[in-house]
Structure 1
Amino acid sequence: MTDDLPQPRPDLPAAAETEIAALVNRAAKAHGPVIKALNAVGGSLESRSGALPDRIRGVLDAGISGLLEGAYRTAGAVGSMPKLPPARDWTHRAAAAAGGAMGGLGGIGTALVELPATITLIFGAMQRAAAQEGFDPASEEVRLLCLDIFGAGGPGRADDGVNTAFLGTRLSVNGVTLQALIQRVAPGVAAVLGRKLAGQAVPVLGAAAGAGINYAYMSYYEEMARVRFALKRLAEAHGEEVVLAAWRERALPLAQR
């Protein structure tokens, strides 16, 4: 049986191999109970998202680029960065849940009003994950990577926890401009947020859905950012190709289950 396990690489320290294995497991576990529940009813949510009024769908599709750019620029001003509690404190996730509940109280109208705050809060959580791995959270590269993480998938996809396309091919965004990146990621972000709005569409009942979705989304994106920036740190220390090869070798079997 041990012959089937990934073997240590001579050009990658055993400690790095162990950390990569832990990161693969961390990414897979990012799908908590609420995320699994969202996946289980994904067809229903997708149907409701597609059934959003054309006016609301148009507002979402047209406005998402502006929301992403706004979050990016706000995150660059250190003084205005979201003040999040320490990493081991769960209260920031509770704050996201409270915002989702408030957004869902009045149905789709209040959910749209709440959307920019949720995006900014999640973006700030990803910046904090970067800081924990030794990167400057306000730097242009980190903020671009946060956008890339936000748009490279989402908690509605069943394989995102170990999706090699998500974490295994883009550890940097060198040479990518802000507008080009936003154009690339905006459709995926709009799809994820469309599911969120669909869940909040019914007044009062939408409050409970909004709280659960916001909590789950905050947890998901923060965890995936921790994985992404940890891999980036390892890549800078040991070389990108060898780190990505080790990631793919361990992540692929999980993705195929």
Structure 2
Amino acid sequence: MEDISNVVSIDVEAELDALAERYSRAGGGAINLLNVIGGRAEGLLDRLPQAAQSGLQDATRRALEQALKAAQSSRDVVPDQKSWLNTTVGAAMGAVGGVGGLPTALAELPVTTTLLLRIIQGVAVEYDFDPNSESVKFDCIEVFASAGPLADDDGADLGFLSARVTLTGAALQGIIARVAPRLATVLGQKLAAQTVPVLGAVAGAATNYAYTNYYQEMAHVHFGLRKLAIDADVPVETLAAQLRARMQSRAVR
């Protein structure tokens, strides 16, 4: 006879509500960021020199590749940190990157990308996923496919939560190549914000604070949904569709 004391009831609706709340507040620091830099997200990329815009996609792909190697190798040396410390470190790095304008912001890009990936891996561990497994490496990169903290997102972007590919040796490079163009736009906005004249370090700190907070929350949404799918024995695609409906319902209120 089954020991019912070990059976845990999963309140799927409550869990989805909690994930929707996380999704909603993910970009919470972005409004303050836009106030600091004095502009709209849509026009930020135009502030970058044409040469920087042209090379942004390749720079982002290289940053992702370097970040994956560095984040993975650092796990045995540096433990995962508390969320408040992650955002503090991210803001400090952004301040340094913003001091010298575009050159220092570009130099800081792979370092911040590595920090963000380590944060995403740490969240994966919180939900009992192994960051060393190929599938979880894939998932960590997939978090970067979300819209970014400056996007006006109603949840329509949740497709990244249910996207899957056959995991082969080349699959990870394939997902990096697929994510890089989108992430290039998001990181391009970050670079442009960091190069705002006069503000420098302030804009850099505000930018990285918003980005660190955003990807940390989106990682919780991503892995929280995957864990819920396992615990409740419900396909993740079904849960993603329900979460998307919740987000779109919030957007029209």
1:239 aligns with 2:231: no
1:211 aligns with 2:194: no
Counterpart CA distance in 2 for 1:235 and 1:42 is: 41
Deviation digits for residues 126-174 of structure 1 (CA, Å, limit 9, x no counterpart): 1111110110122222221121111231111111xx5143257516454
Which segments of 5 or more consecutive residues in structure 1 lack a partner in the other structure?
1-12
1:65 aligns with 2:57: no
Counterpart CA distance in 2 for 1:242 and 1:156 is: 27
Q: Which residue of 2 aligns with 1:123?
A: 117
Kindly indicate whether the alpha-carbon contact (under 8 Å) linking 2:33 and 2:210 is maintained by their aligned counterparts in 1: no
Kindly indicate whether the alpha-carbon contact (under 8 Å) linking 1:76 and 1:140 is maintained by their aligned counterparts in 2: no
Q: Which residue of 1 aligns with 2:215?
A: 221
Give the C-alpha shift of residue 82 in structure 1: 5.2
Kindly indicate whether the alpha-carbon contact (under 8 Å) linking 1:82 and 1:121 is maintained by their aligned counterparts in 2: no
Moved more, 102-111 or 148-157: 148-157
Counterpart CA distance in 1 for 2:247 and 2:27 is: 15
Superposed, 1:73-152 pairs within 5 Å as 73-77=69-73, 79=75, 83-87=79-83, 90-152=84-146
Counterpart CA distance in 2 for 1:79 and 1:137 is: 9
Identity within the alignment, %: 39
Q: Which residue of 1 aligns with 2:157?
A: 165
Kindly indicate whether the alpha-carbon contact (under 8 Å) linking 2:143 and 2:160 is maintained by their aligned counterparts in 1: no
Counterpart CA distance in 2 for 1:163 and 1:170 is: 13
The one-letter code matched in structure 2 to 1:136 is D
Give the C-alpha shift of residue 43 in structure 1: 5.7
Kindly indicate whether the alpha-carbon contact (under 8 Å) linking 2:158 and 2:244 is maintained by their aligned counterparts in 1: no
Q: Which residue of 2 aligns with 1:155?
A: 149
TM-score (norm 2): 0.84
Q: Which residue of 2 aligns with 1:35?
A: 30
TM-score (norm 1): 0.83
Q: Which residue of 1 aligns with 2:20?
A: 24
Which segments of 5 or more consecutive residues in structure 2 lack a partner in the other structure?
1-8
Aligned length: 240
**Aligned-pair RMSD on alpha carbons?**
2.5
